[in-house]
Amino acid sequence: MQDRPEIARAVALLRAGELVAFPTETVYGLGADALNPAAVAKIFAAKGRPADHPLIVHLPDGTELDAWAREVPDAARKLAAAFWPGPLTLILKRQPHVPDAVTGGQDTVGLRVPNHPLALALLRAFHGGVAAPSANRYGRISPTSAAHVIAELGAAVQLVLDGGPCTVGIESTIVDLSGGTPRVLRPGAISAADIARVLGEALPTAATTSDTPRVAGSHAAHYAPSTPLRVVAGAQLADAIGAELSTGQHVAVLAHSAKPVVAKNLTWQAAPADAATYAHDLYATLRGLDEAAYDLLLIEAPPATPAWFAVADRLQRAACGSGEDDET
Ligand code: TXA
Ligand code: MG
């Protein structure tokens, strides 16, 4: 894999301070050499992202932890051993050489070893850290295929490594280990219970994201389509549909359990009933619904169970930001 010509080209671009988009198991990333502040600045320009939002540094393996973090608590080593490569980002105190451009000037750095053969081939061949946010314009739906990246960023990125559709489909779980107690800053495929099991201690769960402004995805508006989007409890769905249709709007419904309603100006789309498949499909589905240019997307609220926390989090933020041009 490392010998593939596109990997050599990607490494040459990274070394030259250019951007490369690459697949991970979660979403596609927009990568730059993490030790080159001018290259990292190009990421912010391409995304239209505020400069104080820190980036995750992607590493080829867990042995690199100490090169990037100056304090690596036991909990970090345990989580890295259990979940890397995989959809988990650890926030740790940074080594002094980690550029402010990457950390947003904070004293911490986000680190992750992604579980995708192309990403790992790139990282191994590059021999360094690749700073990469999701490869979408700021506030918009994250890309889960190479075509999504091109639709989002176009000419702003010289090379998109195409690794097919992402297997997980939503961004990594972020755990902050830079303070006393481990905290989940962003829910993802690895749950708080999975983490607690490895650490042998319970974590604060669920809505912990809301008071952590440094996590970009924790701003209310994020992952948003341009079409207005509402999340409605299954029991209220029929009433909500009736009310919206009565105003003459074209409405699309995405439902994972509610019984289909047939009506004029209503498009019904069934979503997977299990959380992992739902997450896998979510961004491509939102993108497709957005492109179809309905007046409104009504999404059946997911169950309030831990298995659905990450999906519920993304839907809630998509609902906040939808239909606006400027997300915060
Ligand atoms: O699955 C993922 O994590 C994907 C793939 C490409 O790895 N990346 C991703 O990056 O979702 P991004 O930039 O879209 O989201 C990373 C989040 C941001 O909300 C950022 O604020 C947070 O991680 N983050 C990064 N470094 C941090 C730090 N030092 N402290 C707190 N939050 C941090
Ligand atoms: Mg993102």
Query: Would you give per-residue pLDDT tens digits along the chain (328 residues)?
Result: 767 899 999 999 999 999 999 999 999 999 999 999 999 999 999 999 999 999 999 999 999 999 999 999 999 999 999 999 999 999 999 999 999 999 999 999 999 999 999 999 999 999 999 999 999 999 999 999 999 999 999 999 999 999 999 999 999 999 999 998 999 999 999 999 999 999 999 887 544 444 333 454 444 567 889 999 999 999 999 999 999 999 999 999 999 999 999 999 999 999 999 999 999 999 999 999 999 999 999 999 999 999 999 999 999 999 986 654 333 2
pLDDT for res 295: 97
Q: What is the pLDDT of residue 213?
A: 38
- For ligand 2, the distance from its centroid to the CA atom of residue 20, given in whole angstroms, is 16
236: containing domain: 229-321
The residue whose CA has the least distance to atom 23 of ligand 1 is 215
Tokens 């809630």, located at residue: 316
pLDDT at 221: 62
For 200, 237, 251, 301, the CA distances from 258, given in Å and listed in that order, are 38, 8, 16, 10
Size of the chain in residues: 328
Note whether 49 and 169 are same-domain residues.
yes
Ligand 2 centre and the CA of 318: distance in Å?
12
Looking at the structure, tell me whether residues 156 and 271 fall in a common domain: no
Residue 132 Cα to ligand 2 middle (Å): 9
How far apart CA 228 and CA 134 sit, in angstroms, is 22
Three-state DSSP at 173 gives strand
The residue whose CA has the least distance to atom 20 of ligand 1 is 215
Compute the distance between CA of residue 174 and CA of residue 153 in angstroms, rounded to an integer. Answer: 25
Q: What share of the chain is helix, strand, coil (3-state, %, to 5)?
A: 40, 20, 45
Instruction: Give residue 209's pLDDT.
Output: 43
CA distance 172 to 217: 11
E strand or H helix at 166: none
Structure tokens at 273: 């009933």
**Residue 77 within any structural domain of the chain:** yes
From the list 55, 78, 81, the residue with the least C-alpha distance to 68 is: 55
Q: Are residues 257 and 306 in the same domain?
A: yes
Pocket of ligand 1 (CB under 6 A): 24, 26-27, 29, 53-56, 87, 89, 91, 103, 106, 108-110, 112, 114, 132-134, 171-172, 174, 185, 214-217
Please provide residue 32's backbone torsions phi and psi, each rounded to the nearest 5 degrees. -145, 160
For residue 203, give both structure tokens.
């974590």
This prediction's pTM: 0.93
Ligand 2 center from residue 196 Cα (angstroms): 25
Q: What is the CA radius of gyration of the chain?
A: 20
The enclosing domain of 132 has a CATH number of 3.90.870.10
Residues 165 and 311 in one domain: no
Q: Which of 199, 217, 238 is the last residue of a domain?
A: 199
| Nearest alpha carbon, ligand 1 atom 21 | 215
Residue 285, domain member (yes or no): yes
Top mutation candidate among 55, 140, 177 for ligand 1, by most atoms within 8 Å of CB: 55
161 CB neighbour count, 10 Å cutoff:
23
Ligand nearest to the CA of 27: 1
CA–centroid distance, 166 to ligand 1, in Å, is: 17
Number of domains in the chain: 2
